[in-house]
Amino acid sequence: MEAVTTYYATLGVTQNAELPVIRAAYKALALSHHPDKTVNLSAEDRAAHSALFRKIQEAFDVLGNPSLKIVYDRELQRHGGRVDVTSSTFHRPPTPSTFPRRRKTIRITSPAEKRVLKTKIEQDLAYLREQRAKRDIEDSEMDISGLKFMLQTWAEMAAEYDDDALSNGNLRAHCAVQMQVYQAKIAKREREHEDWLQGMSRPKAPGNLGVKPTRPPPSRSTTSTPSRLRTATPTSRPMTRATPMSPAVAAQPAPFTRAEAKARKEAAKQSQLDAKAAAVRAGKETHRAKLEEQAHQDATRKARARAKAGAPPLGKWGASGQANANLTSRHTSSEGSSAAKPSYTKPCSTCGQSHASLAEIRKCVKDHADQVKDESFFYTI
């Protein structure tokens, strides 16, 4: 019986190699013996490389899993570092039989192993969702011709795997799924384009002062049969049977003409100007009333101050004393006496006598000031 090589010898690493080293060795061998890399070889060479790649994949499936690697190392340790095919859990015996012996199932019962596998599956799903979101963003920036090109590309890639559906069934299924995705995107983009065309073809009735009212959609008759409706064709727009106008639509007024709309706009503008002018006039009247009220308050305050100081009201005495003379003559004629009564009953603070007018009081004060000035001059000399 031929000696079976260990998984370490298959990958070309030592038994104490770390996981990154094992992964790097697997990638290097896979790049050389993968079926996609041996397309240009003959059928016999491709079969040899395919058998070797299956061994490499089997070795990495065991050594790439830390839990299975521990079990495999213990098995090698029990048999002195060699493979015992009769009692091995991982290796198959090299029998010439067409139907090889069924491998023993490796059950993962540890909760930690289950959590690791679940986490790996969740990471794979998250990566797929992220890639799908990026692809959707890129497709949203394409036009409809770009989406059709992507659909054609996926269809051509799916046709390449039709000949070998058994070995490449998963790739063919992935291409089919992408074809369905792009077909749905193209149909959605065409619907959006049709809706935009229908929106542009609807008549737009101008409303009052540039406001465009939205009319309710015409009510469809519930008694009409679908057989009387024309079906839409790819080369023509859909046509439906004419339905009677609803009372709500019929009660709306006819759209205004351009001259009527312009006249209404001018009238609204003139009304705004009139309202603004009225507001300005009202503001001026309010300001004038405030000024008059302030002047009245000032006059009242001055009158109170003069009355408190004992001065006559404004306009009674002037600087020339003409008003005082007129008042004195009226007193003289009424009493029949040549002496007029003085208006001030309070004595002067300078000479102690009562004067007949304010001018005499000022003159007395001035004379007294001049006299005091002259006396002080002679006293100084």
Residue 112's Cβ-count burial label (10 Å; 0-12, 13-18, 19+) is exposed
Classified as helix, coil or strand, 361 is helix
Chain-centre distance for alpha carbon 209 = 31
Q: Give the residue carrying structure tokens 């298959």.
A: 10
Angle between helices 43-63 and 66-78 in degrees, nearest 10: 90
Tens place of pLDDT per residue across the chain (381 aa):
456 788 898 888 888 889 999 999 999 998 888 888 888 888 888 888 888 899 899 989 988 888 888 888 888 888 887 887 777 778 765 555 444 455 555 666 678 778 888 888 988 898 889 888 988 898 888 888 888 998 889 888 888 877 766 667 777 788 888 889 999 999 999 998 888 888 888 776 555 444 454 554 544 444 444 444 444 444 444 444 545 555 554 455 555 688 888 899 999 999 999 999 999 999 999 999 999 999 999 989 888 888 888 776 665 554 444 444 454 454 444 444 444 444 555 667 777 777 777 788 888 888 888 877 766 655 454
Residue 233: φ, ψ to 5°: -115, 155
CA distance readout (Å), 138 to 134, 143, 174: 6, 11, 19
**pTM over cut 0.75:** no
Q: Mind listing the pLDDT tens digit for each residue in 189-203?
A: 999 888 888 888 877
